[in-house]
Amino acid sequence: MAGLKPILLVEDNPNDIELTMAALESSQLANEIVICRDGAEALDWIYRRGPHEKRQPQDPAVILLDLKLPKVDGLEVLAKVKRDPATRGIPVVMLTSSREETDVVRSYDLGVNAFVVKPVGFDEFFAAIKDLGVFWAVLNEAPPHRGGWPSNV
């Protein structure tokens, strides 16, 4: 659907990807869901580099970001996105199984918009993801994109 911003899901666990996709689809969101399986791929997608250089220059409605990722971890992705004036307005939700206080504090220090611990039970996980999708893709009013796409980030 034209004009709708995609939702960027950065997750390496195939089971969590499948559950998240099912929950988002059940919310009947028309937003495209883009999946990146590691932090390096996510940064390439965000900054339109490598295999993503020809994608439309549109910020995602939200980045659902796992904390523990291969190649580049979630905290490093978060730090780069929030440090860059061209991308810092993109909402980022840390979606993780970690309950470590240091992870929560560090995420907020780096500018995360929300820190959500993945519920263990299927029904709770499904409901939490469904609510996140609706809030960030439909209800939240994000700032308009300002600035260009730096190639050196």
User: Could you read off the pLDDT of 5-60 as tens digits, one per residue?
Assistant: 898 999 999 988 988 888 778 777 778 899 999 999 999 999 999 999 999 888 89
Whether 149 is in a domain gets the answer no
Whether 98 is in a domain gets the answer yes
pLDDT band at residue 139 using 50, 70 and 90 as cut-offs: low
pLDDT of residue 88: 92
pLDDT of residue 1: 44
How is residue 6 written in tokens?
Answer: 């995609």
Q: pTM for the whole thing?
A: 0.82
Q: 44 is in which domain, residue-wise? A: 7-138
User: Could you read off the pLDDT of 70-80 as tens digits, one per residue?
Assistant: 999 999 999 99
Whether 124 is in a domain gets the answer yes
Higher pLDDT among residues 95 and 78, named by residue: 78
Determine the residue type at 120: V
pLDDT of residue 135: 58
User: Could you read off the pLDDT of 79-88 as tens digits, one per residue?
Assistant: 999 999 999 9
> Measured between alpha carbons, how far is 71 from 2 in angstroms, rounded to an integer?
33
| C-alpha distance from residue 66 to each of 15, 32, 77, 102 (Å) | 13, 19, 10, 15
Whether 128 is in a domain gets the answer yes
For 145, the 3-state DSSP assignment is coil
Q: Is the pLDDT of residue 111 over 70?
A: yes
pLDDT of residue 150: 42
- Domain with residue 120: its CATH number is 3.40.50.2300
Whether 81 is in a domain gets the answer yes
Give ∠ CA 48-36-140 in degrees, rounded to 5: 80
Number of domains the chain is built from? 1
pLDDT of residue 141: 63
| C-alpha distance from residue 110 to each of 60, 74, 81, 128 (Å) | 19, 11, 9, 23
> Measured between alpha carbons, how far is 63 from 36 in angstroms, rounded to an integer?
10
Whether 55 is in a domain gets the answer yes
